[in-house]
Amino acid sequence: MKYTYPVTRTTNPKPHPQDETNLGFGQYFTDHMFLMDYDEGQGWHDGRIVPYAPLSIDPASCVLHYAQMMFEGMKAYRRPDGRLQLFRPDMNAKRMARTADRMAMPVLPQDILISAVEELIDVDKDWMPKAPDTSMYIRPFIFGNEVSFSAMAAKHYTFCIIIAPTGAYYASNTGKLGTSRIYVQDEYIRAAQGGTGFAKVGGNYGGAMRATEVAKQFNCKDVLWLDARDHKYVEEIGTSNAFFRIGDEVITAPLETGTILPGVTRDSVINLLKRWGVKVSERRLSIDELLAAAKDGSLKEIFASGTAAVISAIGCLNVKGEDYPVADGEAGEIAQKLYNELYGMQTGKVEDYMGWTYPLDIVVD
C-alpha cells in the first residue's frame, strides 16, 4: 500500500552544492525532511514532510542518555532515462524490523518506510545529483523520545528521514577501484555474541571510533575487526562487511554469530558470486589463515561492501605496524567486476536480471 503525507514547503530554499564532483558523504542536506511520531496505544501517526530544520529535543530525552535508536542507509539512483530508483528497499525494512525487536522499539511497517522515502525524494527531486559516482543517500532513523531517566524502553518515538546528495564514501571509484590500507584491530572489539552487532544502531558505530583513531596512527583508513570471544576470527571492515578471496574461494563471516550486520550489499554480492559460479563460503576465517595466505600468495583479494561504500578494495593489511600486502596491492578482478555490475544495476546501466531495483514514479531532467 502506498501512503501520501502532507507537505509543508520551505519558504527559504538552500543553495544547491556548486561542485557535484566534490559532494563528500553527508555534507549537504536537501530542503525537506520526513517526520512521524509513535505513541504507545496509538501506533505510528502524523507522518509529514516539513522544511529541513534542527529538531527540538528535551535535554532529558531518553535517546540522549541511553541511545535507544536505530538507523538505516539506502540510496536513490538516477537511471539514464531520468527515472529514479531504489535498490532492494524491502531488505532495509526487514532489517529495521529485526533491529526494532533487538532494541525493544516499535516496528515500522515497510509500506510506511518506502512511501515516506518516495514522497520525500519527490519533493526534493531537484537536489538529485548528476555527476558520475553520485547518488541521493537516504538516512531513515528512529529514536526513543521521551523525557525520562528510567532506563526502560520508551513509549514515544520519533521517526525521521533526511536525504543527502553524496559522492563516493571512500576515494572516488570512477573507472578503476582504488585501494585502502586496513589495520587489524586485536584489542578493541565491535560486537559480541548476544549483543547488537547484527542491528543497525548508533552504539555499534560510536563504540568503534577509538579503534578507527588507532588505525589512522598506522596510516590506515579503517580497521579489520576480530571476533570478541577469541580475538581470532575476521568479522567486518570498518562500517562494512568484508570478503576475502583465497585461491578460488571467496569467504565472508557467517551471520549466525549475531555479530555481523546483514548488509544489503553483502547479500547482493553473495548472490551475484553464486550466479557467476564463484565459490563463496559464509564461514569463519581466522586471522592466522588469512595472514598465512597473504604470505604464501594465495590471498588474491580483500574487499568491503556496504550501501555507502558499494565495493571498496583493500590493498594492504597492517598488523601492529607490519604490512601484509594483498596480492599486488591493486583492486582485484572480482571486486572490480562486482562494483561494475552492482553500481551498473543500481544506476540502470546494466540490466537488472536479479529483480533488485525498485523504480520510483519520479523522473528528473
Task: Give SS3 for 190.
Answer: coil
Least Cα distance to 135 among 123, 147, 121 occurs for 121
Residue for grid cell 566534490 = 22
284, amino acid identity: R
Question: Does 106 contact ligand COI by CB under 6 A?
Answer: no
Q: Kindly tell me which residue out of 47, 73, 106, 195 binds ligand COI, with binding defined by CB under 6 A.
A: 73
Find the residue with minimal CB distance to ligand COI: 73
Site mask, ligand COI, residues 221-240, x = CB under 6 A? ------------------x-
Question: Does 307 contact ligand COI by CB under 6 A?
Answer: yes
Site mask, ligand COI, residues 169-188, x = CB under 6 A? x-------------------
How many Cβ atoms sit within 10 Å of the Cβ of residue 322?
10
Question: Does 89 contact ligand COI by CB under 6 A?
Answer: no
Q: Kindly tell me which residue out of 33, 93, 160, 308 binds ligand COI, with binding defined by CB under 6 A.
A: 308
Q: How far is the CB of 232 from ligand COI (least distance, A)?
A: 25
**Which of residues 306 and 348 has its CB atom nearest to ligand COI in the complex?**
306
**Which of residues 246 and 313 has its CB atom nearest to ligand COI in the complex?**
313
* Binding residues with ligand COI: total (CB under 6 A): 7
CA torsion through residues 172, 72, 3, 164, sign: negative
* Paired sense of beta strands 179-185 and 32-39, if any: unpaired
Kindly indicate which of the ranges 153-161, 282-290, 304-312, 355-363 contains the residues binding ligand COI, using the contact rule CB under 6 A: 304-312
334, amino acid identity: I
126, amino acid identity: D
Torsion of CA 148, 153, 159, 165, to 10 degrees: 100
CA angle 209, 215, 221 (to 5 degrees): 90
The contact set with ligand COI (CB under 6 A) reads 73, 169, 205, 239, 306-308
